[in-house]
């Protein structure tokens, strides 16, 4: 979303940027430091590509203290941070968008906080149009790097 361009640090333009895990974490922390809530960030990409790794780095940069776990089993994790609470949502186990209601989805996406969503495509049309999209892709033949697309 153009309204969010200012929070995407310069190296993550729309080109094909290939990053190592430590570069991805560094970039995620910089993004987290730059975010002013409210903001929904979607983290798309195949199984195991690095969505949670990036979400954890964004949380760290945003000022979340302590352990940042993967929300896969709980679906939603909530963290306290100086600028707002952070919701980290993993929709991998969502079977259909209607189940979002039970998660408190409508309240979460309208709560003026930072919301990080893995597997955002599972939300279908209930994903607000106004969000910052991030995509991670595998690099064929290079298991240490990922393609990062943001903004
Ligand atoms: N360049 C890289 N960027 C991110 N992760 C990397 C990179 N290279 C290797 N990895 C490894 O890939 C794995 C990414 O796991 P992670 O849980 O973040 O993925 P995920 O996309 O959240 O998976 P899932 O689809 O199960 O939610 C980690 O084990 C990490 O160490
Ligand atoms: Mg994950």
Phi, psi at 116, each rounded to 5°: -110, 125
pLDDT at 2: 47
- Find the 2 Cα to ligand 1 centroid distance in Å: 27
- Find the 49 Cα to ligand 1 centroid distance in Å: 4
pLDDT at 50: 98
Q: List the domain boundaries for the chain.
A: 19-126+144-150
**Superfamily the domain 19-126+144-150 falls into:** P-loop containing nucleotide triphosphate hydrolases (3.40.50.300)
List of residues 6+ apart from 141 with CB closer than 8 A: none
Nearest C-alpha neighbor of 93 from the set 102, 82, 85? 102
| Ligand located closest to 136 CA | 1
CB atoms within 10 A of CB 140: 6
Strand ordering across the sheet containing 142-150: 17-20, 142-150, 132-139, 39-44, 114-118, 86-90, 76-79
Which ligand 1 atom is nearest residue 45's CA?
A: 21
Nearest C-alpha neighbor of 19 from the set 52, 49, 64? 49
The residues lining ligand 1, judged by C-beta closer than 6 Å to any ligand atom, are: 19-21, 24, 45, 47-53, 92, 118, 144-146
Q: What is the pLDDT along the chain (151 residues), one digit of tens a residue?
A: 445 655 665 555 555 689 999 999 999 999 999 999 999 999 999 999 999 999 999 999 999 987 777 666 678 999 999 999 999 999 999 988 889 999 999 999 999 999 999 999 999 999 999 999 999 999 999 999 999 999 8
pLDDT at 68: 76
pLDDT at 11: 56
Element (H, E) at 143: strand 142-150
Question: Which of 43, 49, 150 to mutate to test ligand 1, by most ligand atoms within 8 A of the CB atom?
Answer: 49
pLDDT at 1: 46
- Find the 146 Cα to ligand 1 centroid distance in Å: 9
Phi, psi at 32, each rounded to 5°: -60, -40
């Amino acid at each position: 979303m153009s309204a969010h361009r200012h929070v995407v640090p310069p190296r993550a333009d729309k080109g094909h940027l290939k990053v190592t895990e430590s570069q991805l974490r560094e970039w995620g922390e910089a993004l987290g430091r730059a975010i002013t809530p409210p903001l929904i960030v979607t983290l798309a990409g195949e199984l195991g590509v690095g969505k949670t790794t990036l979400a954890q780095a964004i949380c760290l940069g945003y000022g979340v203290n302590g352990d940042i776990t993967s929300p896969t089993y709980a679906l939603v994790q909530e963290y306290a941070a100086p600028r707002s609470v952070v919701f980290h949502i993993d929709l991998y186990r969502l079977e259909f968008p209607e189940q979002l209601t039970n998660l408190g989805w409508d309240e979460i996406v309208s709560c003026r906080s930072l919301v990080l969503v893995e597997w955002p495509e599972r939300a279908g049309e209930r994903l607000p149009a106004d969000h910052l999209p991030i995509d991670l892709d595998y690099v064929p033949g290079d298991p240490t790097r990922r393609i990062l697309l943001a903004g």
